[in-house]
């Protein structure tokens, strides 16, 4: 297929509730949507899961926009793309910028699946028709708010609860949660807030029967994570550490963790995501798919990748209504009793609500 046109939309959407991690608090989500069109005027959509400021990784919305505009879109515009795997060759000269690459690649994967008249899940090699999801709860100043959030989400049927932690908001919080909910599948996410100096604090978490401790140390610290894992009974799950197939391979070889949280954007797109999936499958490393507070388009891509067999742990793809008053897709993503159905219709399997997209668009640019 020929990539005839690419459109970028800079979106601002206000989340229903502020979300706090050890990186800070967010309520206004600013990100980019990418629309690609082929010669038959079919459209594919991708989401660039950036944030306004480079707090999660080095990219931010304006840097990803520039990357797409100056380098990535010109490298594929008017090109004949037989399969989305080819994009890696076009993008290879440009270093990193994984969120931008992933957004454009994701749009082309959606377009490719639509042109083949198959679901994105099927195009990726997915086999599951239903996926299990958990929910991720931000840090709360007041413990009663957190306990109440857990109660509500458990009653809604989510398959596991993840709570965000940071120094000073950790062992006592987990203890309180466990006192109230002794049996729920529970995990914690530190978003890199600790160092090896905190090993005693982290070891205390072994008593709470956690499914995992996610990303306790800084992203580049594979060696330190390996040292820490040797000290802990609780499995370490790597999130921010895994930017590529090579990161995953080295982390597994070093023993830096026992579980991987894959985010499509962070690893540079679906093609890399499949490679990492296949490696983890061979090495018996369970995986799950994390979230970046996505709109429905990013959520739809997450559902599709989660349909691959080695995503054996519940992911973070909650209902649209958890984050948004109104999502930009139809129907909205709806979790029922902790389960999501994988769409079988062509591409991402959701219609784009263009009125809603345009209502939230601050800037748009057409490349043709
Ligand atoms: Mg995380």
Binding residues for Mg(2+): 189, 214, 239
Alpha-carbon distance values, 37 to 5, 44, 46 (Å): 5, 7, 12
pLDDT value at position 259? 98
Considering the four listed CATH numbers 3.30.920.30, 3.30.70.360, 3.30.390.10, 3.90.1150.10, the one that applies to the domain covering 5-117+353-367 is 3.30.390.10
Distance between CA atoms of 32 and 100, rounded to whole angstroms?
9
- Active-site pick, 153, 162, 164, 169: 164
Considering the four listed CATH numbers 3.40.50.970, 3.40.640.10, 3.30.930.10, 3.20.20.120, the one that applies to the domain covering 122-341 is 3.20.20.120
The dihedral built from the CA positions of residue 342, 348, 350 and 356, taken in this order, carries a sign that is: positive
Distance between CA atoms of 287 and 260, rounded to whole angstroms?
5
Q: Are 8 and 26 a contacting pair, CB within 8 Å? A: no
Q: What is the β-pairing status of strands 329-330 and 351-352?
A: antiparallel
pTM, rounded to two decimals: 0.95
Question: What tens digit of pLDDT does each residue of 137-180 get?
Answer: 999 999 999 999 999 999 999 999 999 999 999 999 999 999 99
* Percentage of the residues of the chain whose pLDDT score is greater than 70: 100
Task: Note if 263 is an active site residue.
Answer: yes
pLDDT value at position 22? 76
Q: Specify the DSSP class assigned to residue 309.
A: T
Question: How close is the Cα of 287 to the center of ligand 1, in Å?
Answer: 13
Distance between CA atoms of 300 and 328, rounded to whole angstroms?
11
Q: Are 16 and 325 a contacting pair, CB within 8 Å? A: yes
Distance between CA atoms of 191 and 193, rounded to whole angstroms?
6
| C-alpha angle 298-348-113 in degrees, rounded to nearest 5 | 130
Question: How close is the Cα of 42 to the center of ligand 1, in Å?
Answer: 35
Nearest Cα residue to 347 out of 44, 12, 63, 29:
44
pLDDT value at position 112? 98
Question: How close is the Cα of 183 to the center of ligand 1, in Å?
Answer: 22
Residues 6 or more apart from 107 whose CB is under 8 A from it? Answer: 6, 34, 35, 36, 44, 45, 46
- Active-site pick, 10, 37, 166, 263: 263
User: Could you count the other beta carbons within 10 Å of the beta carbon of residue 13?
Assistant: 21
The dihedral built from the CA positions of residue 24, 233, 134 and 255, taken in this order, carries a sign that is: positive
The ranges assigned to domains in the chain are 5-117+353-367, 122-341
pLDDT value at position 23? 77
Question: What tens digit of pLDDT does each residue of 179-211 get?
Answer: 999 999 999 999 999 999 999 999 999 999 999
Output the tens digit of pLDDT for each of the chain's 368 residues: 999 999 999 999 999 988 887 777 888 899 999 999 999 999 999 999 999 999 888 999 999 999 999 999 999 999 999 999 999 999 999 999 999 999 999 999 999 999 999 999 999 999 999 999 999 999 999 999 999 999 999 999 999 999 999 999 999 999 999 999 999 999 999 999 999 999 999 999 999 999 999 999 999 899 999 999 999 999 999 999 999 999 999 999 999 999 999 999 999 999 999 999 999 999 999 999 999 999 999 999 999 999 999 999 999 998 999 899 999 999 999 999 999 999 999 999 999 999 999 999 999 999 99
pLDDT value at position 21? 79
């Amino acid at each position: 297929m020929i990539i005839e046109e690419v459109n970028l939309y800079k979106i601002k959407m206000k989340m229903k509730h502020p979300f706090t991690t050890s990186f800070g608090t967010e309520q206004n989500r600013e990100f980019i949507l990418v629309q690609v069109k082929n010669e038959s005027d079919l459209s594919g959509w991708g989401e660039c899961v950036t944030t306004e400021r480079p707090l999660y990784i080095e990219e931010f919305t304006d840097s990803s926009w520039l990357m797409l505009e100056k380098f990535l879109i010109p490298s594929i515009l008017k090109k004949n793309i037989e399969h989305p795997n080819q994009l890696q060759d076009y993008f290879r000269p440009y270093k990193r910028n994984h969120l931008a690459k992933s957004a454009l690649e994701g749009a082309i994967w959606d377009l490719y699946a639509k042109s083949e008249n198959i679901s994105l899940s099927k195009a990726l090699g997915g086999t599951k028709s239903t996926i299990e999801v958990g929910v991720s709860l931000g840090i709360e100043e007041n413990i009663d708010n957190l306990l109440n959030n857990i109660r509500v989400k458990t009653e809604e049927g989510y398959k596991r609860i993840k709570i965000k932690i940071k120094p000073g908001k950790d062992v006592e919080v987990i203890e309180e949660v466990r006192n109230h909910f002794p049996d729920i599948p529970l995990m914690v996410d530190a978003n890199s807030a600790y160092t090896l100096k905190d090993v005693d604090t982290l070891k205390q978490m072994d008593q709470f029967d956690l499914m995992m401790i996610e990303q306790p140390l800084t992203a580049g610290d594979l060696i330190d994570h390996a040292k820490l894992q040797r000290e802990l009974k609780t499995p370490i799950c790597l999130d921010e550490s895994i930017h590529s197939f090579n990161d995953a391979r080295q982390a597994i070889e070093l023993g830096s963790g026992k579980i991987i949280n894959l985010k499509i954007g962070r690893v540079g797109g679906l093609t890399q995501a499949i490679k990492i999936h296949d490696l983890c499958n061979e090495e018996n490393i369970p995986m799950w798919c994390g979230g970046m507070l996505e709109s429905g388009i990013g959520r739809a891509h997450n559902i599709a990748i989660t349909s691959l067999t080695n995503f054996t742990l519940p992911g973070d793809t909650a209902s649209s209504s958890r984050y948004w008053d109104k999502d930009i897709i139809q129907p909205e993503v709806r979790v029922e009793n902790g389960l999501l159905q994988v769409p079988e219709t062509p591409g991402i399997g959701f219609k784009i609500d263009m009125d809603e997209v345009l209502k939230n668009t601050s800037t748009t640019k057409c490349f043709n």
